[in-house]
Amino acid sequence: MKILIVEDEASIAEVVSAYAKREGYETVCASDGLSALEIFFHDDIDLVILDIMLPKLNGEEVCRRIREKSSVPVIMLTAKSSESDVVSGLDSGANDYVSKPFSPRVLMARIRAQLRPRETRDNIASGVFADGKIEIDPERVEIRKDGVPVPVTKSEFLIFSTLVSRPIRTWSREEIIRTAFGDDYDGFDRTIDTYIKNLRKKLAEPGHENGWIKTIYGFGYRFDDEK
């Protein structure tokens, strides 16, 4: 999963990035509001850590613009800590608020809380599949192949675990979107193809070059656990 860290103080960005990497997340950093939006709208970001006092565009405005298009979790990170600042941060659409100076461990706990699937729903597979080769762990939002974690984004995780949840079922793109993302999704049907392509790249292996995902032409996809 990938976290966008928006912070103009390089030392803070470095500390947050180091802790996040240790937790197994990918990180990408932006040091001003405009480049943060640029990155956000061109990358598959799972969560945003957002400073408020930023060059070019402040954090509240950045958050507002993200919210016009996306429900990705945003955690505000700021030196401001008066009640009215907290309220205006949350009003701009932030999911959580951590004031500086902060404990990186507390911040990591807040990140985990935001990224955990809201409920372990029926459509999220959980456990071991394909004779133990594939393991799906909703608690950690992790796919493991032969016991080794495969770095996937939250969207990729939701799509793959949706397919795995009903192994013999073929899913149309629209069904995948509805089941995996519910109302959170605002892309096009065909965006699913891009996610599938990425998943295949990450999961492919000899004998399963398709990354355990079978294309059913003219209809959609299904989990391919045939030997």
Which residues in this chain contact Ca ion in the complex, by CB under 5 A? Answer: 8, 51, 53
Of residues 33 and 211, the one with the C-beta less far from Ca ion? 33
Least separation in angstroms between CB 191 and Ca ion = 33
Closer CB to Ca ion, residue 9 or residue 139? 9
Minimum CB distance to Ca ion, residue 113 (Å)? 24
Q: How far is CA 143 from CA 71, 95, 157, 165, in A?
A: 23, 26, 7, 13
Q: Which residue is nearest to Ca ion (CB)?
A: 53
CB of 5 within 8 A of CB of 43? no
Angstrom distance (rounded) from CA 133 to CA 224: 12
Task: For the CB of residue 101, give the shortest distance to Ca ion in the complex, in Å.
Answer: 13
CA angle 200, 36, 193 (to 5 degrees): 20
Q: How many other C-beta atoms lie within 10 A of the C-beta of residue 144? A: 15
The nearest distance, CB 55 to Ca ion, in angstroms, is 8
Based on CB atoms, which residue is closest to Ca ion, 10 or 53? 53
Rounded to a whole number of angstroms, the minimum distance from the CB of residue 7 to Ca ion is 6
Nearest distance from residue 96's CB to Ca ion, in Å? 18
Q: 3-state class of 133 per DSSP? A: coil
Choose between 10 and 113: whose C-beta lies nearer to Ca ion. Answer: 10
Nearest by Cα to 195 from 156, 137, 140, 150 = 156
Beta bridge partners of 172: 220
Please say whether the beta carbons of 88 and 94 come within 8 A: no
Nearer Cβ to Ca ion (13/47): 13
Distance CA 84, CA 10 (A): 27
